[in-house]
Each structure stands twice: as structure tokens, then as C-alpha cells.
Structure 1
Amino acid sequence: MDDKFNVTYITFNGYVEVQNYRYLYFFIMITVYFLIIFYNSTIVYLIWKHKNLHEPMYIFIAALLINSVILSSAVYPKYLIDFLSDRQIISYSACLFQFFTFYAIGSSEFLLLSVMAYDRYVSICNPLQYPSIMRKNTVCIFLLLAWLVPACHIAIPAILSAKSKLCSFTLKAIFCNNTIYRLQCVSSRVITIYGVVTLVDLAVLPLLFIIFTYAKILFITYRSCKEVKKKAAETCLPHLLVLISYSCLCAYDISIARVESNFPKTARFIMMLQTVFYNPLLNPLIYGLKMKEISKHLKKLFLPAKTPLFMNTDH
């Protein structure tokens, strides 16, 4: 629908009982959003502050957590506005921007997890060559590619969608994801084919690389000493937990957007919330609890050493 300024607005139709529970939803979501910002920012700050965390593995973790903050900031403020509004609407241009941010950052996570898997492989399987392979310049290049490649990929369907004619103005969603393609009058074959290529490039191939890399690590550590096995478990387990949870949520997002189904509205609402709820909130908890060095600094930050009640003043 257009107003006098000829701006196209899209209505979100994925919300459940907003009128009756708007303040409850608002309180829950603003609490979650503040926790996401606080948890992720705290660990990024610790990695930035402490020199013993200025290693490739921790730098990649910081990048992953920065992604969580950006992704949440692209979605949660709009949620908060919608919960307090009588109508849940968004301009089509803002919708495309949200779509671009969500998938560019989301795809970046797969590439960062791939780089982290490679980093662990070099560290565990080729420890003597690690300093020469994972140099500062190499880490910077990996980070640049992990952010730039997905942005370039996702920009193309976003631009093509902006030029497409719309015949529907209602999204069965609570934010702008792949369901925006259903708004178009004619399904674009170019966008469909390009979407498959993008899915393979940014999700399938990185996932296969991660599986192959960790399989190699598992095979090598199986024949190694107990100390190597312990190191592998401590550093690889958090990455695997994040990968598994994120892959499941991405699989849901792709399937629910592409496959027509009579999914109950409440179930759809809950699942869509989970796609932007679990990882941004659980990632810092996983890394904070499972990564020994990060956990150590967190304890020092929030549980400072107690000062003795009586100090010896004798000299």
C-alpha cells in the first residue's frame, strides 16, 4: 500500500496476540536485547583489553560476537516498536535493508566458523607452523573476506527485489527474511537460481569444510597424547556447539520461507523468534564458560579478589 509520498509499506502478519500481551512481549524482548548487548560486548571488551587474548582464535570469537550485536540491532529495535504499535508495518526499503543485514551477517557467521575450524586445525595438527601461517595479515584478510563476501552476495538479490513489482503487502513473518520473495507478482527465476548458488557458496560449502576439518582433527587427536586431546576438546567443543545450533536454526529459516506449509501461527511466531534469540544470547555464554582463558578473565571481572579484613602493618 502507498501513501501520498508514494512509499510502499509492508504489514507483518506473524505476530500473535500483540494487543493482549504487548507489554509482556515488550518487557521480555527488551530484556533479551539488553542481555545480548551486555554479554557479547563484555567478552569483546575482555578480548580487546587483555594481550593474552590477542590470538587469532579469540579475535575470530570477537568477530562472531560483534556479528551477534549487529544482527540483533537490525531486528530487536523494530520488534520493540511493533509490540507497542497498533499496526506492525515497515517500509519496503527498510524491509530490504533488514533482509540484507540479516542474511549478510548470518552468512558471515558460517565463514567465520570455517576460519575458526581452520585455525584449530593448524593449531592442533601443525603447531610448529602455526605462527607462520596464522599471521596478523592473514587474520585481517580472513576477517575482511568473512564480512565482504556475504555482503556482496546478498546485495544482488536485495537490489533485484527492490526493482520487482509487488502484488502482496503482507508478510507471514515478524521480520524481513526470505518470505519477501512471496510479495512479488512474478517469481524471479534469476533470484531463485542465484539464491541456490548463494546458499551453496555461503552455507553448504563452509559447512562441508568445517565437517572435513573437524574430522581431520578428531582423527589426529585420537592417535595423540592425552594433553593434545584435552586441548582439542577445550577449544573445538564450543565451536561445534555454536555450529550445530546455528545450522539447525538456518535450516528452519530456509525451509519455512521456501516451503508452503500450514504451520500454526503460534508455532511460526515462536520459531521465528528463536532464529534471532538463541545464538546471539547463547554464543557469549558458550564461549564464556567453555573457553578457559575467557572464563578466567570473566571471573576476575565479576568476582574480584576479596581484600583481607585485617592487613599486617608491621614492618
Structure 2
Amino acid sequence: MAFDNTIGRTDLGTALIPDDVSQEIIQTMPESSVLLTRAKRVPMSSMKKTQPVLATLPEAYWVSEGALKQTSKTGWEDVQITAEELAVIVPIPDSVVDDAKINLWDTVKPLIAEAFGKKVDAAGIFGVDKPSTWGDDILSGAKKAGATITQGTGTDLAQDVAKLGEVLSKKGFAVNGFASQPGLNWQLVGLRDANGQPIYTPSITQGNPASLYGYPLNEVKNGAWDSTKAVLLAADWTKFVVGVRQDMTYQIFDQGVISDADGKVIYNLMQQDSKALRVVMRVGFQVANPVTRVTGKGTQYPAGFIVPKVGA
């Protein structure tokens, strides 16, 4: 892990410290987290939160004339969400801040938010750097439940998506949204359903997702998506639960030291005339997987993937 990363003049370049008149910043718009945007978000008043999930369904019975009515019961299981901490410190020399003609701290904040979103998505969807308290990532859970389709199973991607929707229906869940690798929209443009209607509708409003088979499609552009593992995620997004114990908090320090993992001081804010922005967030994630009428307990799952062909 790197502890000595700082922002200096060579990193900022003339776009952020212009020699002349230009005060505009041209940079990629930070992309938000698809899980933080689309999943069910619940506040947490402590480090751990218990989310009840339906485990046993009640049954009904025919009653013959004069016979006694039978009883039934409903059971619930607890799914525990544990908030884990995400944090980063960004030091910037005072001279760099003074010479910049824009507010560097306001520029850095959305980029840090994007980095946090990348970590949450990568952990929750693919298990990358996932805290052990989060349980299975979505891809692992879908594979265990047999909820994957290999790209090319149908005659085209439109049929692959439809087959994946069928798989989830047989698992007891209805698709209400998609997430995908960047650039998938160009594979979807021009594809038609059995009635000749376009399956994909590009977004015409800034900030709104595109539409696939009438449901929102978010391309994950924050760097979290691993296209070697998955092409498309289809899910009942209400079953993804993000617990927020502490939303992103920012604090700027003008004194203090930054140490590495061994305790060695590698940056002294006062001695090196610098300030540091510390950002902290505490967040948890779990997949709620309630039992359904369609399939037996243990075989249901609220998400599925189109995965790439081996060697493709």
C-alpha cells in the first residue's frame, strides 16, 4: 500500500495551475457507484444492523365442510450488515493551493467520491478487496445458484438478456434493472425483440440511465467492472442492501504527520507547509435472498449474469 502519494505541481499540470487566463478544469466527470445509487439504502445507528429476510412461506389449505381449519407459520432469518471503514488522506502543499486559480479541494472531493464508489462496487459485485463481514459478493452468489448465461447462448445479445431474465424468473425474482461493462450500449444498439422493437433506448437526459427491455441500465464506468468476469448484471435491485453508518465526511488538517504501516513518518504537514484532506466513510453490504414460491429454499437468488465466453 502506498503511503507517500501527494499532489504536486507535476501532477496538476497547466490545466489546474494555468500560466495565463484559463481557469476551467477539463476532466472526466466522476462516475458514481451503481450499488450506492441503485441498491436499497438503509441508515445504521451502530456498526451492525440486522435485516430480517423471509425464510418460510405460509401455506393455505382447503377445508371440507365441518372440518377444522389448519394453521401455518411464517419464518424469518436475520441477515447482518456490518459497516466497514473506507478512508483516504490527500496531502497538497500550500504553495500549490495558493498558485492554483481554482479551489483544489473542491476539485479533489468528487474524484475521491468516485474512488470510494469504485471500491464499494468492486467489492459488492466481484468480491475485490471485499471485507469478510460482507458475505458473498453478487457474482459468487449468482454462480452458486446457477444464475449465469454465457454470452452467445442465444443468437444475439438480445436473446442472451431475455434468457437471463427467464433464469431469474425461474429463481423466483423479477428483473427490475441492469448494470453492465462500459461500452455495452454499442453492442445493444440496433438489436430488436421478437416483435421487431428496439430492446435498448439510450438515455436522453443527463444523469438518467439508459433503458434495456424497459428497465434502467447503468454502465459501470468508475473502473470497478471486470469485463473478464461479466458482461451484464440483471437483478431485483431491492434485494441489494447498502447500510450506511457514516456518510462521506471531509476534514482538512494543517498540522500533523502521516505515517506508513510501520509507523515511520513520511509526511509532516507543518514542517512541509502542507494541508491534508481526510475522507472517511463507513458502509456495509449484503444480498437479501428471501425464499420464493417459485423455487425451493437454497436455489433462489435475486441476481444473474451474462458471462463472457471462455477464451473470448
Q: TM-score, normalised by structure 1?
A: 0.23
From the two aligned structures, give the one with the greater strand fraction. Answer: 2
Larger radius of gyration: 2
From the two aligned structures, give the one with the greater helix fraction. Answer: 1
